[in-house]
């Protein structure tokens, strides 16, 4: 079965991710979904455009999935991120972790989202109710001195 | 030599394009660092804007000391904000 794409412009289909990771060995399923909220730093947000460096983003998510599998007692970890323009309430990221017991699924999913925020080459452009937009500040991927 | 430069996020907004070709005169190779200096010289809007910017070739991040040859393609990745 072909695995669900790590990066896609299409709406995230949770059902497909759940089906892909079904496993009778697992008694715990932890799903984290990040959705677009209507406010940020005191401003009314109406939409968000997500942009990725796709080759590096795919490699980063594959690596992070492997890392979760190796670092926690989990059987499955899938991490997918949406790109393009999203409306309020739409899912931008989904993480599915399955393990025998709940503590590992919680820990693995938490690790995945925290690391994703530091490592995934994705940028957000926030669109506001007043018609303006701006790129959000972020986390440097690596900190080397710049000219 | 020429280097193809791909820009992401706020960098694209600063320069007004997501892709450009940088020409470095009279050299056959240049470090990433040298290419970035030449880029700032050619696009002053980038001055001060490369702080915290990472550089990728293909699907890997590279250091500032990596040597580029003619027709190399690099991506400039500003601080990230995924999730």
Please report the pLDDT score of residue A147 as a whole number: 47
What is the arithmetic mean of pLDDT over A96-116? Answer: 98
Structure-token pair, residue A69: 């599998």
**A118 to chain B nearest CA, in Å?**
7
Within 68-127 of A, beta carbons closer than 8 Å to B belong to 81, 92-93, 113, 116-125
Q: Which residues of B51-69 are buried (b: 16+ CB within 10 A; e: fewer)?
A: ebbbbbbebebbebebebe
Say what the ipTM of the complex is. Answer: 0.93
Chain A residue with minimum CA distance to B60:
A56
- Residue A27 predicted with pLDDT over 60: yes
**CA–CA gap between residue A74 and residue B53 (Å, rounded):** 34
Q: Does residue A146 sit at the B interface (CB-CB below 8 Å)?
A: yes
DSSP conformation letters of chain A: -PPPPSEESSPP-HHHHHHHT--TT-SEEEEEEEE--SEETTEEEEEEEEEE-HHHHHHHHHHHHHHHHHHSSEEEEEEEEE-EEEETT-EEEEEEEEESSHHHHHHHHHHHHHHHHHH--EEEEEEETTS-EEEPP-B-SS-----
**CA–CA gap between residue A95 and residue A70 (Å, rounded):** 16
Radius of gyration of chain B (CA): 12
**pLDDT digits 0-9 by tens, A76-89:** 999 999 999 999 99
Please report the pLDDT score of residue A145 as a whole number: 46
Phi first, then psi, for residue B7 (nearest 5°) are: -115, 145
Please report the pLDDT score of residue A2 as a whole number: 76
CB contact under 8 A, B83 and A120: yes
B contacts of A7 (beta carbons < 8 Å): none
Nearest-CB residue to B61 (from A58, A117, A142): A142
Q: H or E segment at B60?
A: strand B60-62
Q: Are A3 and A61 in contact (CB under 8 A)?
A: no
Per-residue pLDDT band at A1 (split at 50, 70, 90): low
- Residue A143 predicted with pLDDT over 90: no
**pLDDT digits 0-9 by tens, B27-65:** 999 999 999 999 999 999 999 889 899 999 999 999 999
CB contact under 8 A, B83 and A138: no
DSSP conformation letters of B12-39: HHHHT-SEEEEE-TT-SEEEHHHHHHHH
Please report the pLDDT score of residue A142 as a whole number: 75
Q: Are A11 and A90 in contact (CB under 8 A)?
A: yes
Give the bridge partners for A124, in sequence order: A50
For residue A11, which of A126, A78, A112, A94 has the smallest C-alpha distance?
A94
**B58 to chain A nearest CA, in Å?**
7
For residue A75, which of A60, A62, A65 has the smallest C-alpha distance?
A65
Please report the pLDDT score of residue B51 as a whole number: 84
CB contact under 8 A, B82 and A122: yes
């Amino acid at each position: 079965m072909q695995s669900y794409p790590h990066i896609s412009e299409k709406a995230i289909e949770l059902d497909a991710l759940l089906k892909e990771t079904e496993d009778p060995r697992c008694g715990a399923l932890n799903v984290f979904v990040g959705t677009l909220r209507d406010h940020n730093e005191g401003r009314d947000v109406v939409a968000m455009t997500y942009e990725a460096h796709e080759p590096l983003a795919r490699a980063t998510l594959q690596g992070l999935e492997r890392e979760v599998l190796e670092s926690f007692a989990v059987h499955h970890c899938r991490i997918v991120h949406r790109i393009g323009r999203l409306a309020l309430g739409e899912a931008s990221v989904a993480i599915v972790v399955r393990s025998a017991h709940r503590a590992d699924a919680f820990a693995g999913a938490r690790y995945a989202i925290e690391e994703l925020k530091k490592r995934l080459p994705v940028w957000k452009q926030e669109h506001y109710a007043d018609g303006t937009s701006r790129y959000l500040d972020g986390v440097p991927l690596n900190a080397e001195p710049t000219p | 030599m020429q280097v193809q430069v791909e820009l992401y996020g706020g960098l694209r907004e600063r320069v007004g394009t997501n892709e450009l070709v940088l020409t470095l005169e009279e050299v056959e190779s240049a470090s990433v660092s040298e290419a970035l200096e030449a880029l700032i010289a050619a696009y002053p809007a980038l001055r001060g804007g490369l702080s915290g910017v990472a550089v990728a070739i293909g699907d890997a991040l590279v250091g500032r000391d990596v040597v580029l040859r003619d027709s190399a393609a690099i991506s400039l990745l500003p601080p990230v904000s995924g999730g």
